[in-house]
Amino acid sequence: MDITPQGSIASSMASAASNVFVFSPLVGPGMGGQAIRVKRSADEKKLYGNQKYEQGDFRSAERWYTEAIEALEQQLPLPREKLKQLFPTLQTEIAVLYSNRSGARLMTSKPQSALDDALKAMELDSKFMRAASRAATCHCRLGDFAAAHRIIDSAMDRCSASSSHYQDMLKKMNEVVDLASRARAATAAAVAAVASGARDKLQEAADQLSALRDQVAYCDVIAASRAVLALRLGSPREALTLVAPHPEVPLAQRAAPWRLWLTVQARYYRGDMQAGTANGNGAGADDASSEKATSSPGGSAAAAAYATSAHVTVPPPEVLGELAESIQQQLKLKEEGNVAIKAGRHSEATEHYTRALALGCPPAYAAVLHANRAAAYTGQGLLAEAVADCGRARALDPSYYKASVRLASLMMELRRPENAVGLLDPLLKLNAQADGAGPALDELAAIKDRLSEARTAAKWMKTPQHYKMLGLTSACSEEDVRKAYRRLALKHHPDKATASVKVALALPCGAGSAPYSGPLAGGSELETRMREEAAWLFNLINQAHEELSDKSRRRKVDQLLEVEQPPTTTRYPGAGASASNPYASWFSSSSRYGAAYSGFYGGADPFFGYRAPGPAPTAGSGTRARTGTAAGSGTSTTYGGE
């Protein structure tokens, strides 16, 4: 980069003006004066570009360099011969501008334009070694190490072996060879890791490739390899980012089948089934480009791994058709369930969601189905089943915050406000994101309101509603309690947690097997989360049974449920019930906790029936926290998270 040392614009301008040529006797004062003014303006623009580059404002730097180039190439009003007499180094100065603009463009995700500029600079001045070095860098960013090798080799032929330029080029050559060797080794390791399926091997290969990302930022082979590893490690959002083409990728390559197939897989595992189906329509075309490996010296195995075809095999149309049919069936059942629940047909909705889950869905999509089925169970008064499904949703996809919101609402229905606080409080730390990875601003506001209500209720609501936990009323008999407990304890025992959930860790049909794709590597972690959620529910069921199976303890529960009411005030006498009781607006005859919770399961609920996939929360984020006081224990219990 031909960068002027830092200093004020004024001093830079003065320096530029002092270097302007005087009039040549061969050039008239009119045209010559205009040429000098254009040249001076171009020099000023170059200085502006240099300063913007130093400041990290690469887009502005590119604009200033472009204006300088246009001025020198299009606005000088003299024939080439006379320009050469007036400005002997003009061609080299233009070459420097192209090289500088190449650097700016490379920093703004324009690798092909940057390469074109570097090659143009070399064309203008074949001895401009900095341009050759920059062209080699552009080729490396694109993953074409063989082309970078040829550029440097040719440049070295034009230098004396004893010159400093030769030594610079030799150093650059060694860098290119080393980078090519590391890239081939890393992609070969990725192929081996995917074949093994071991999580530690997959992560090790992903880390090895990640270390190269800045040096090969626009290489399709590296992107494909990293995306495959991200998918197997359960990070579909990262995979989508990796396969997204940079702005200068040609239209045909943007829709390359290998890219579309990885996009299909990533959208499937994110739970975005509809979009995945759409992407799959173009994935079955021939992908001739993916079969081309970049030629490079080295071991044959490593060289073979340096091609997109070594990492991505697109299924034939018949396999893609089977996948699309399976996805459409899951979407259809989910939509039928949503229609039924909005119409108040909760039992029918439960059947549709259950049938969809029986097909075997990816974890993220299964999380949505379980959360929706929880709403249907709640509509039938089956709160233990609803709590179980919310727990399953949270285990299947820890980033699905709406399952925690729904579970918090159930905790309020069961008179466990401290548990609701523990569920909602960590959600306020999530950021609203435009890409749907976090709660929207209105959802965050709703969560904040519910959290405030739960904290207020926790001040007076101390006795859990054990009857509702067992699906009973206060008029039930001892035998009813015993039967209800036995049924729920058998169904929701932690040992049966994984057996009660059918989830697909691989794509359905033939698309989920080698060589087209493979299973997710996080099965053991998912099973652990499932057992943790089931153990928490089992504890609630046991507490309910202990309190209601003992006559004296049951009488105490009945008494406390009767006397524990929202606090009242007479601050505003004569103003009506809502004024004398600030909690009156929360409660209605249709729901123990009023519109704030009764509407939670209806069509107007902003948290119902919508999937906004995103990344799993980071360690310590606490989205799995549930805090509360166990009935009769007098101690605070934290389940899971922070």
* Distance from C-alpha of 334 to C-alpha of 368, rounded to nearest angstrom: 9
Q: Please give the average per-residue pLDDT across 104-119, as a whole number.
A: 97
Query: What is the predicted pLDDT for the residue at 553?
Result: 97
Question: Using CB atoms within 10 A of its CB, is residue 590 exposed (0-12), middle (13-18) or buried (19+)?
Answer: exposed
Contact (Cβ atoms closer than 8 angstroms) between residue 547 and residue 631: yes
pLDDT of the residue at 621: 40
- Residue 418 clears pLDDT 80, i.e. is over it: yes
User: What pLDDT sits at residue 129?
Assistant: 95
| Residues paired with residue 637 on neighbouring β-strands, in sequence order | 628
Instruction: Please count the residues of the chain.
Output: 642
- Distance, in Å, from the CA atom of 463 to the CA atom of 415, rounded to the nearest integer, reads 7
Tell me the pLDDT tens digit for each residue of 452-479. 999 999 999 999 999 999 999 999 999 9
Q: DSSP characters for 491-539? A: HS-GGGTTTT--B-SS-SGGGGSTTT----S-HHHHHHHHHHHHHHHHH
Q: Is 507 left (phi over 0), alpha (psi -120 to 50) or beta?
A: beta
b/e 591-602 (16+ beta carbons within 10 angstroms → b): bbbbebbbbbbe
Percent helix / strand / coil, the chain, rounded to 5: 65, 0, 35
Work out the number of other CB atoms within 10 angstroms of the CB of residue 18.
Answer: 7
* pLDDT recorded at residue 30: 61
Please enumerate, as own/partner, the contacts of 174-181 that have beta carbons within 8 Å and a separation of 24 or more: 176/136, 176/140, 176/145, 176/148, 176/149, 176/152, 177/149, 179/140, 179/145, 179/212, 179/215, 179/216, 180/145, 180/148, 180/149, 180/296, 180/298, 181/298
- Reduced to 3 states (helix: H, G, I; strand: E, B; else coil), residue 442 is helix
pLDDT digits (tens, 9 = 90+) for 65-91: 999 999 999 877 778 788 888 889 999
Q: Average of pLDDT values for 252-258? A: 89
Condensed to tens digits (0 to 9), the pLDDT of residues 531-572 reads 999 999 999 999 999 999 999 999 999 999 999 988 875 444
- Say if residue 357's pLDDT is above 60: yes
What pLDDT, on a 0 to 100 scale, did the predictor assign at position 606?
52
Name the amino acid, one letter, at 96.
V
Taking only the tens place, the pLDDT of each residue in 4-36 is 433 444 444 444 444 434 334 444 456 777 888
* Between 128 and 608, the higher pLDDT residue: 128
Best CA proximity match to 520, nearest among 530, 507, 506, 502: 506
Of residues 438 and 25, the one with the higher pLDDT is 438
In this prediction, residue 600 has a pLDDT band, given cuts at 50, 70 and 90, of very low
Q: How far apart are CA 309 and CA 286, in angstroms?
A: 12
**Cα separation values, 312 from 65, 86, 521, Å:** 40, 58, 18
Predicted confidence (pLDDT) at residue 228 exceeds the cutoff of 90: yes
pLDDT confidence band for 632 (50 / 70 / 90):
very low
| 525 pLDDT more than 80 | yes
Task: List the structure tokens of 105.
Answer: 């463009």
Element (H or E) spanning 162, and its range? none
pLDDT at 283: 59
The confidence band for 143, taking pLDDT boundaries of 50, 70 and 90, is: very high
pLDDT band for position 642 (50/70/90)? very low
Residue 433 pLDDT: 56
- Beta bridge partners, 638, equal 627
pLDDT band with cut points at 50, 70 and 90 for residue 281: low
Q: What angle do CA 109, 114, 115 make, to 5 degrees?
A: 125
Per-residue pLDDT, 603 = 42
Cβ atoms of 352 and 325 closer than 8 Å = no
Given its phi and psi angles, is residue 613 left (phi above 0), alpha (psi -120 to 50 degrees) or beta?
beta
**What average pLDDT does range 150-165 have in this prediction?**
93
- Contact by Cβ (8 Å): 121, 98: yes
pLDDT band at 625, cuts 50/70/90?
low
**491 or 623: which leads in pLDDT:** 491
For 583-596, what is each residue's pLDDT tens digit?
A: 333 333 333 333 33
Is it the case that residue 412 has pLDDT exceeding 60? yes
Q: What is the DSSP letter of 256?
A: -
Given a contact cutoff of 8 angstroms between Cβ atoms, the answer to whether 39 and 20 are in contact is yes
For residue 434, pLDDT over 50 is answered with: no
Mean pLDDT over the full length of the chain = 83
Q: Which of 153, 125, 148 is nearest to 137 (CA)?
A: 148
pLDDT in the model for residue 291: 43
pTM, two decimals, is: 0.78
**Least confident stretch, 23-37, 125-139, 240-254:** 23-37
Q: What is the model's pLDDT at position 438?
A: 79
Report how far residue 306's alpha carbon sits from residue 315's, in angstroms, rounded to the nearest whole number. Answer: 20
**The pLDDT of residue 628 is above 90:** no
What integer is the mean pLDDT of 345-374? 97
SS (H, E, C) 349-413: HHHHHHHHHHCCECHHHHHHHHHHHHHHHHHCCCHHHHHHHHHHHHHHCCCCHHHHHHHHHHHHH
Cα(185)–Cα(304) distance, integer angstroms: 11
Q: Report the Cα 385 to chain-centroid distance in Å.
A: 31
